[in-house]
Copies of this chain bind each other. A is one copy, B any other.
Amino acid sequence: MKVLDDQERNEALISLPGWTHDAGRDAIVRNFECGDFVSAFSFMTAVAIMAEKVDHHPEWSNVYGKVSIVLTTHDAGGLTPKDIELARKITAIGPSS
């Protein structure tokens, strides 16, 4: 799968509020604030099931109510449509903050 060029990435990010581009890694990143640990881990569980279903997995971290997600496609060496698609799914079920 081919990595997105600048224009493709910028167009995709317009419809992904809160996600930003990490140029150093060619990844997209977003922090979610879920309020408490159970809410954060519930969100993570939903993301985990989605990620496994599409066989594309996040790099992510959690501290109490905060979940930080990094998406990039290791095999392709950068951002691909798989990352954009997973970001859309995550955004749809995530908290709005």
Chain A interface (Cβ < 8 Å from any Cβ of B)? 37-38, 41, 44-45, 48, 51-52, 57-64
Closest residue of chain B to A61 (Cβ to Cβ) is B61
How many copies of the polypeptide does the oligomer hold?
2
Pairwise interchain contact B48-A41, C-beta atoms closer than 8 A = yes
**20 sampled A-B residue pairs with Cβ under 8 A:** A37-B48, A37-B51, A37-B52, A37-B57, A38-B52, A41-B45, A41-B48, A41-B52, A44-B44, A45-B45, A57-B63, A57-B64, A58-B62, A59-B61, A59-B62, A59-B63, A60-B61, A60-B62, A61-B61, A61-B62
Taking the closest CB of chain B, its distance from the CB of A28, in whole angstroms, is: 16
Residue in B closest to A56 when the chains form the complex, CB atoms: B37
Q: Chain B residues with Cβ under 8 A from A62's Cβ?
A: 58-61
CB-CB under 8 A from A41, the residues of chain B are 45, 48, 52
